Amino acid sequence: MGNKKQETDNTKPIDSFNRTIHEPARLLILAYLHAVESADFLFLMSQTGLTKGNLSSHLTRLETIGYVEISKEFVKKIPRTLLRLTETGRIEFRAYRDRIQQVLNTPQD
């Protein structure tokens, strides 16, 4: 019975993970965007290995919940899509990262 209690205590942090961020492709996107001020869509696509459609779909989800800001501009008549984390996105990513570290640092018996 003691083991069941211990398992429950150790999984509580996992249960509180932000499920939107926990999805592997979105986690990868947010990790790259967290490291820079902004990134070009094509750069992010090459870094993550995601297809245009897949990256676009995840970015739309992240934009809808307010984690990512998407802006479009023209550079010498060529369209360019810039992506950046919003303040909310930065806060949520850091909270997620801290939660992961907490789980990884939990002693296992």
Count of domains observed in the chain: 1
Q: Is the pTM of this model over 0.85?
A: no
Residue 33 lies in a domain: yes
pLDDT single digits (tens) 22-76 = 889 999 999 999 999 999 999 999 999 999 999 999 999 999 999 999 999 998 9
Residue 109 lies in a domain: no
79: CATH: 1.10.10.10
Contacts (Cβ under 8 Å, ≥6 apart) of 62: 20, 26, 29, 30, 68, 89
Report residue 100's pLDDT band, with 50, 70 and 90 as the boundaries.
confident
Report residue 8's pLDDT band, with 50, 70 and 90 as the boundaries.
very low
Residue 22 lies in a domain: yes
In what helix (H) or strand (E) does residue 91 lie, and over which residues does it extend? helix 87-104
Query: Cα separation of 85 and 106, whole Å?
Result: 29
